[in-house]
């Protein structure tokens, strides 16, 4: 239908009369830049007058312009699609909320909060003050007692501050949720005590070289214990005053978020975990993936809300109350393109402590950067394992293993530095790896399999790998029919089998 | 725990030794701007040397810095969270894909494509050429026949080009999916014919005033019919050549996208519609909402893919084949903050035709902008109704009503111009309004209720409104228990009732 006789006039005069169209100005959330490109400048007064047609008999003029989605278009703004993503996500999950309420009713119970206040755990938390005051007492011995003995006393005290609560939680089998909180506080106490005497040592050496003496004051130690940092310093940047209204608002947010976390965990994660335990034993690959994906979304919500409430709200509240000035508790780990960047930036208090007391001393002794980094990562993995394993009575090194699996991933993602692919891989490893670990802990906790690794575990892994292999081998249909979905009620499974049968025939 | 004796030293020297930390440079997808703010410049060579502690006994220095999530932080980049949204959405829906396959098996059938090729619809589509050639013939009568008679002939021909296929589809009840395509082509033919003779009239008047004559050439009309525009012009901006490789890639994309649309419609939308028909009759509000939300996501996917394939791919393929230069077939409607902007920008060929042949003539005759805008909106609503109602044999003015409901919304959203809230409201009205209309059509089509409005309809609406009222009145529990979810199999409903009973007791 090509009409060859028409002239080629690329560069046709552009949109002379486009001002006649109803004015669209600033009705889009696009950048000003794009709007300028799409719309020629128009004088408002001209639009009021009667408009005549152009030489082609049209009010509107044609112009050579590319489509907006085309790569030839110079400036695209897709801001509106971010809102679409949020709405789609909310719609998908609002549906799940309604389904969940129909299926389970309300599972939440405000009395569950008493789990956290069990007297054994509370006593253990308060006992941590003993080690802190001991550290101050041991520090006071300087000048009276031989220095290496003081060092031994300090390390004994510090290690006891973590090991004693750890052993007590294991021995008395206290409530797991409270137990984890106690162990986090115990780890904090351990790190603060170690930092306290190591920095004091440095300052004493420095003071001695200038023929002065250094003695830490008790109020310095107490301020350090209260302040949101793990690295001791005799002085910190401070703010001028406490904004009490600000503190109150942050506390309300904190309480609200934790109420939300509890609801999500009780209503969505726990039933999801229970439903996935059966396919996990049967090793039916697709049902495990489906269950994992069902847990992954609320699990991520808990994780991100937990991060915000602890690393933003809790630490900022502490900082405001202690007028602590340095509030860089995390960097923009959500933009990570390598797993290494994530692990260095999501928890700056611990990372700074590691750099201060492990990484820097090691590199100053001639260690290279890379092994020193891996070394602090291993220490971090050990602490994760210790904090999680004891309250849940699980000795299969799942947390440790999960973190150590990250080491090769950290190396692999190094080549993706700065790319969106790197960011997506980082998120996938976090968002799928974490619910998998949670699922494995839930399985062992529910079945009382405390470890070490048993035959049942090996069989489950074998079944899963087998299912995965079958799936990879394109025998999806065979896999679906040989592994019966176990949670189906009897009446529907007849229909179900019929459908699968049809599906099976279709595939062959 | 406040230690009042410490100095206030806001403005503490900043991060002197931060270079000792493992280098984080360019491992984040954040803007360069933010990275600069967070990280002081560091010389690589310095990091290799042995580093000494500062005067506070620390390797790292503290500095007064706000947290990144805090409103005090000057530059935040949340780019990584956009990836999170995409991943969460894919995970939520991958789960639904697995569930769907387990529940329904494969519903797709490649032979369904033959629906589109039914001979009656194909004949109707080809018959449109008759009206196009007639228009050229009528135009040739100028000089031989009295001008008003030619005008009447032209309008009769144009209206026939739409009404004859419309009547034929109704009379023969051809396949609905093919019928809609035929009616879209018929509408296109109608608009092109009208534009052809109106613009020719203008050019003839103009030529006469210069003592010249104007006669359109057949090849001009044929080029206009093939070109992706609805406004006739004797000349258009053209491109230099056809990029055949580019055309081939766009055609492959087009076929792939429509295969995807078919799968989504057959596998997700149709079962979702069927499942929602029962609660729609029972008027159980929450189940209707749940069903709507379940349809909304695949429905949106179809809609956005359909938009892209027609307004970007199809029209660009046509433009490339006809070397048509003006490819602005849509503007950035996804960034709309008012519904008005959306309706003016999502379909520029039709909008330009409306401006050219309805809006401009009206405003030139002294109409104000606002009534002229509403007038073209009403014409547009009538065409939507005509295109949808006949193939689906539905005469309840649902499409027309749905579009007319937008008029007050357009007025309401005017005050939200430029805001994110406006964009969210725009998306919600599109993403929830559309599946509702689709659901209502499906209901009437499935039950053979062709209209006009019956008692059954009124009762359904009454039940839904009643359910909504109850829900609003906080009697959620009562509503859930009095309206039994109808699609539950017998064996599970016992459990279900037990849970609801517990839920009911909990609420009182």
How far away is chain A from the Cα of B452, in angstroms, using its nearest Cα?
A: 33
Q: What is the DSSP annotation of B121-185? A: HHHHHHHHHHHHHHHHHHHHTBTTB-HHHHHHHHHHHHHHHHHHHHHHHHHHT--HHHHHHHHHH
Whole-number Cα distances in Å, B243 to A185, B222, B318, B321, B396 = 67, 22, 12, 8, 46
ipTM: 0.73
Cis peptide bond N-terminal to B452, omega within 30: yes
On the 0-12 / 13-18 / 19+ scale of CB atoms within 10 A, B124 is: buried
Q: Give the integer Cα–Cα distance in Å for A16 and B213.
A: 26
Contacts of B1 in chain A (CB under 8 A): 222-223, 225-226, 322
Contacts of A331 in chain B (CB under 8 A): 24, 28, 38, 68
Confidence of residue A199 (pLDDT cuts 50, 70, 90): very high
Let me know: does A372 contact A359? Beta carbons within 8 Å. Answer: yes
Q: Give the integer Cα–Cα distance in Å for A454 and B212.
A: 98
Interface test with A, best of B28, B54, B266, B337 (most A CBs within 10 A): B28
Residue A323: CB atoms within 10 A of its CB come to 21
The pLDDT of residue B260: 94
SS3 A8: coil
Contact B6 A236 (CB under 8 A): yes
Q: Within 13 Å and on the Cβ side, how many CA atoms surround B18?
A: 15
The pLDDT of residue A477: 46
The pLDDT of residue B225: 95
Residue A244: CB atoms within 10 A of its CB come to 10
pLDDT along chain B (508 residues), means of 10: 32 33 52 44 48 82 84 79 88 85 84 81 92 94 90 95 90 85 94 95 89 90 95 92 94 95 91 84 78 88 94 95 93 90 91 93 90 89 85 79 85 84 90 86 75 69 67 48 41 40 42
How far away is chain A from the Cα of B222, in angstroms, using its nearest Cα?
A: 7
Give A336's strand partners: B28
Let me know: does A273 contact A306? Beta carbons within 8 Å. Answer: no
The pLDDT of residue B501: 43
Per-position b or e across A413-452, b if 16+ CB within 10 A of its CB: beebeeeeebbbbbbebbbbbbbbbbbbbbbbbeeebeee
A283-292, A427-436, A467-476, B242-251: which has the highest mean pLDDT? B242-251
The pLDDT of residue B28: 67
Contact B58 A199 (CB under 8 A): yes
Place of tokens 């026939």: B160
On the 0-12 / 13-18 / 19+ scale of CB atoms within 10 A, B209 is: exposed
Please state the domain extents for chain B: 7-77, 112-226, 466-483+490-508
Contact A289 B424 (CB under 8 A): no
A242-296 pLDDT, tens digit per residue, is: 999 999 999 999 999 999 999 999 999 888 888 888 887 777 777 888 888 888 8
Confidence of residue A396 (pLDDT cuts 50, 70, 90): confident
- Which residues have CB under 8 Å from A480's CB, separation 6+? A286, A500, A503, A504, B101, B102
Q: Is the pLDDT of residue A221 over 90?
A: yes
Q: If you average pLDDT over residues A159-187, what whole number do you get?
A: 90
Contact A219 B3 (CB under 8 A): yes
Contacts of B289 in chain A (CB under 8 A): 98
Lowest mean pLDDT among A18-32, A351-365, A451-465: A18-32
Closest CA to B57 of A234, A86, A166, A373: A234
Confidence of residue A508 (pLDDT cuts 50, 70, 90): very low
Lowest mean pLDDT among A57-71, A214-228, B11-25: B11-25
What tokens were used for B20? 């000792």
Q: Which residue of B has its CA nearest to A374?
A: B22
- Which residues have CB under 8 Å from B268's CB, separation 6+? B96, B100, B298
What tokens were used for B100? 């769907």
Handedness of CA A127, A133, A134, A135 (dihedral sign): positive
A73-82, A480-489, B265-274, B346-355: which has the highest mean pLDDT? B346-355
Contacts of A301 in chain B (CB under 8 A): none
- Which residues have CB under 8 Å from B216's CB, separation 6+? B136, B139, B196, B200, B203, B234
Which residue of B10, B68, B491 is in closest CB contact with A240?
B10
> Which listed residue (A7, A384, A496, A508) is catalytic?
A384
Contacts of B53 in chain A (CB under 8 A): 202, 206
Place of tokens 């008027």: B283
Contact A87 B424 (CB under 8 A): yes
Q: Give the integer Cα–Cα distance in Å for B504 and A105.
A: 9
Percentage of chain A exceeding pLDDT 70: 80
The pLDDT of residue A300: 92
Interface test with B, best of A2, A9, A80, A336 (most B CBs within 10 A): A80
Q: Is the pLDDT of residue A499 over 70?
A: no
Let me know: does B183 contact B191? Beta carbons within 8 Å. Answer: no
- The dihedral over CA atoms of B66, B67, B69, B72, expressed in degrees to the nearest 10, equals 0
Question: Does the annotation mark A384 as catalytic?
Answer: yes
Q: Give the integer Cα–Cα distance in Å for B385 and B396.
A: 9
The pLDDT of residue A470: 61
Q: Give the integer Cα–Cα distance in Å for B312 and A67.
A: 7
Q: Within 13 Å and on the Cβ side, how many CA atoms surround A178?
A: 22
The pLDDT of residue A492: 39
């Amino acid at each position: 239908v090509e009409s060859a006789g028409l002239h080629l006039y690329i560069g046709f005069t552009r949109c002379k009369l486009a001002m006649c169209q109803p004015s669209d100005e600033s009705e889009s959330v696009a950048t000003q830049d794009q709007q300028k490109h799409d719309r020629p400048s128009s004088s408002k007064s001209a639009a009021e007058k009667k408009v005549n047609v152009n030489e082609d008999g049209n009010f509107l003029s044609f112009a050579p312009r590319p489509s907006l989605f085309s790569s030839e278009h110079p400036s695209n703004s897709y801001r509106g699609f971010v809102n679409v993503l949020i709405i789609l996500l909310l719609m998908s999950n609002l549906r799940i909320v309604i389904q969940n309420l129909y299926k389970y009713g309300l599972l939440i119970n405000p009395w569950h909060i008493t789990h956290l206040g069990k007297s054994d755990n509370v006593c253990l938390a308060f006992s941590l003050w003993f080690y802190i005051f001991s550290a101050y007492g041991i520090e006071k011995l300087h000048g009276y007692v031989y220095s290496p003995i003081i060092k031994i006393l300090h390390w004994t005290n510090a290690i006891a501050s973590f090991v004693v609560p750890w052993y007590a939680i294991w021995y008395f089998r206290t409530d797991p949720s409270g137990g984890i909180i106690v162990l986090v506080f115990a780890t904090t106490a351990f790190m603060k005590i170690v930092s306290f005497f190591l920095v004091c040592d440095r300052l004493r050496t420095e003071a001695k070289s200038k023929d002065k003496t250094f003695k830490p004051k008790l109020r310095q130690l107490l301020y350090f214990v209260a302040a949101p940092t793990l690295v001791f310093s005799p002085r910190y940047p401070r703010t001028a005053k406490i904004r009490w209204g600000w503190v109150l608002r942050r506390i309300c947010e904190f309480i609200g978020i934790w109420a939300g976390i509890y609801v999500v965990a009780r209503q969505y994660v726990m039933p999801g975990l229970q439903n996935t335990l059966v396919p996990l034993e049967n090793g039916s690959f697709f049902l495990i993936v489906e269950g994992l994906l069902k847990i992954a979304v609320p699990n991520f919500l808990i994780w991100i809300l937990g991060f915000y409430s602890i690393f933003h709200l809790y630490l900022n509240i502490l900082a405001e109350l202690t007028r602590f000035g340095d509030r860089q508790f995390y960097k923009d780990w959500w933009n990570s393109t390598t797993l290494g960047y994530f692990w260095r930036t999501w928890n700056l208090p611990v990372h700074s402590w590691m750099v201060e007391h492990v990484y820097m001393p090691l590199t100053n002794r001639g260690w290279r950067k890379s092994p020193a980094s891996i070394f602090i990562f291993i220490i971090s993995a050990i602490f994760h394992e210790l904090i999680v394993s004891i309250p849940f009575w699980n000795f299969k090194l799942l947390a440790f293993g999960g973190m150590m699996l990250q080491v090769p991933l950290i190396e692999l993602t190094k080549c993706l530095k700065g790319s969106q692919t790197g960011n997506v891989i980082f998120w996938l490893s976090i968002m799928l790896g974490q619910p998998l670990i949670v699922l494995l802990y839930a399985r062992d906790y529910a079945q009382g399999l405390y470890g070490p690794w048993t035959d049942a575990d090996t069989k489950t892994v074998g079944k899963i790998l087998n299912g995965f292999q079958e799936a990879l081998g394109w025998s999806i249909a065979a896999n679906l029919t040989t592994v019966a979905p176990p949670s189906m009620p009897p009446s529907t499974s007849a229909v179900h089998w019929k459908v699968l049968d049809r599906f099976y025939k279709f595939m062959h």
